[in-house]
Chains A and B, each alone.
Chain A
Amino acid sequence: MSLSIQNLTKIYGTQNAVDDLSFDVSGGTILGFLGPNGAGKSTTMKMVSCYLKPTEGTAEVCGYDILKKPLDVRKHIGYLPEHNPLYLDMYVREYLEFVGKIHGTPNKKQRINDLIELTGLGKEQNKLIGALSKGYRQRVGLAQAIFHDPEVLILDEPTSGLDMNQLVEIRSLIAELGKEKTIILSTHIMQEVQAMCERVIIINNGKLVADDPIGLLQNRIQGEDRITITFENENNDFSNIENLNGVNSIEKIGNKVIVNASNQNDVRPDLFHLSVEKGWVIIGMQKEEISVEHVFQKLTKEVADA
């Protein structure tokens, strides 16, 4: 077991940022760690990487307890904090050398050259970190996290604020690393989870709400279809749709109406007939595949409403 979290709890004042969280991750998995803002993702990651002390509970990284053996945990973990803090007044190579010295890595020069190639920092290797663009800084952050070839990698929003090309490159780098290492990745971007992660954990208000392999997650809300209809005119009263047989709820966004309906029988013909009857001109109708995004919305909303 690469990582095992046991009843981890963090209380700030009266607020339970992380509330009795437990899960295990075995080696060679890329785990997507999801949750709305303030759900406790970063706090959990900070505790696992020995930056914050848990109020209760503990975690084990590669068999080392975060409370009893923090130094051993830090040797086996690579951590990229949120916002990727770097020493802006250092040069890329100087910084990586500093990281190498901390870890006491033998043959630093060779390792730094390898990392620069692996992370695609070649052109920027002689620049000040402060002079790099966000995407390149992210690569430097990744390089520092994987310097000592850790078994567990914790990446807190590694792709936030990157442009499309950088996004693709960083993602493929992470996927490459994930072949050998255990990676825990927090993110807001759902496509990323679908593209990279084998397993997904969703937390909300510090509590675990879902823990499934990516393929099974979608089963959680099967039994419901999501149909988006685009109307020509948005100033109609669409509330009648809700009275149709099989429709659970509707949501109106501009001239679009999103219909959540049971998938026992197709409601699309009924929707069409109703629109004809009312004289609403349909310019588009689409039945969506259930995606992680919907599961995420549904799971985190339910808890918030409860």
Chain B
Amino acid sequence: MLSVYWKEINSFFSSLIAYIVIAVFLVMTGLFMWVFAETSILDYNYATLEQLFSIAPLVFLFLIPAITMRSFAEESQRGTIEFLATKPLTDWQIVLGKYFANFSLVLFALLPTLIYYYSVYQLGSPPGNLDSGGILGSYIGLAFLAGIFVAIGLWASSISNNQIVAFILGAFLCFVFHWAFAYLSQLPVFYGSLDAFINKLGITYHYSSMSRGVLDSRDVIYFLSMIFLFLFATITTLKNRKS
């Protein structure tokens, strides 16, 4: 697994991909947090990182499928998947190696936002007057959310050898799981019957629950099982392509 992991990490950092991902993520979240008048913390009067945690999923929505789209699509198109699949590696080793490599890149982009935390911490009146527990919970929630997005993106990449198809499908599925369930649950049809259930299927419910600073095991189980589900789907897709 580590061999595949490092190969992927090297290929991110030896091409422009890693730098563009990190730069785009930081510039976008930075603009919303510090520059745009409507959302800027400087005009908000509260010491909080709410803006970061509401804008980050939106940036991830297109950024993560863009990172993951090549994972398997490119390998199938170039035929290198045949090379990997005939080496002494299990399917899980290949998929997990790629999963953790993509996930690491996302975490790498997230890391510098700790500077935002430090800045807001210092800007508070008095300094340090902010909900650190809530922020920690939000970071963990955001990492889990990114984890699901990466798993979705990998699966989208495994079903086609066209990277554009992988990107669009990945972005669409991320949208469905993050927002669509939350909005669908508000439809009058489901009122009083299925609304709570449908809401809980989506990521939003669990993400906002975590950002309150509460680590509920049910949320963690939701995130982990969604990740497992999509990784399992990826393996199944790869196996089916062989026969």
Determine if A81 and B82 form an interchain contact, defined as CB atoms under 8 angstroms apart.
Answer: yes
In the complex, what distance in Å separates the CA atom of A94 from the CA atom of B2? 15
A90-107 CB mask vs B (1 if < 8 Å, else 0) is 100010001101110000
Contact A81 B88, beta carbon cutoff 8 Å: no
A1 to B161, CA, bound (A): 38
A101 touches B87 (CB 8 A): no
Q: Please tell me the number of chain A residues within 8 Å of chain B, measured between CB atoms.
A: 26
Is A221 located at the chain interface by the 8 A CB criterion?
no
Evaluate contact between A49 and B3: CB separation under 8 angstroms: no
Q: Which of B2, B7, B11, B83 has the most CB of A within 10 A?
A: B83
B135-169 vs A: 1/0 string, CB under 8 Å? 00000000000000000000000000000000000
Smallest beta-carbon distance A70→chain B, Å: 9
**Interface positions of A from 139 to 165, Cβ below 8 Å from B:** 144
* A12 to B200 CA separation, bound complex (whole angstroms): 43
Q: Size band of the B side of the interface?
A: 20 to 34
| A85/B87 in contact, CB under 8 A | no
B79 smallest CB distance to A (angstroms):
3
A83 surroundings in chain B (CB, below 8 A): 79
Partner of B10, one of A46, A51, A79, A94: A94
Residues 55-85 of chain A: 1 if any B CB is under 8 Å from the residue's CB, otherwise 0?
0000000000000000100110101010101
Provide the bound-state CA to CA distance between A103 and B93, in Å: 13
**Residues 77-93 of chain B: 1 if any A CB is under 8 Å from the residue's CB, otherwise 0?**
01111110111111000
Tell whether, in the assembled complex, residue B2 and residue A51 are in contact, meaning their CB atoms are under 8 Å apart: no
Contacts of B85 in A (CB 8 A): 50-51
Query: Which residues of A sit under 8 angstroms from B197, Cβ to Cβ?
Result: none
Residue of B nearest to A90 (CB): B11
- A-side contacts of B14, CB under 8 Å: 89
Q: Across the interface, do B2 and A101 meet the contact criterion of CB distance under 8 Å?
A: yes
Could you pull out 5 A-B pairs where Cβ atoms are within 8 angstroms? Answer: A46-B82, A50-B86, A87-B7, A87-B11, A98-B7
A51-B82, A51-B86, A85-B80 known; 15 other A-B pairs, CB under 8 Å? A50-B85, A51-B242, A52-B243, A74-B86, A81-B86, A85-B81, A85-B82, A85-B83, A87-B78, A89-B11, A94-B10, A101-B3, A102-B87, A102-B88, A103-B88
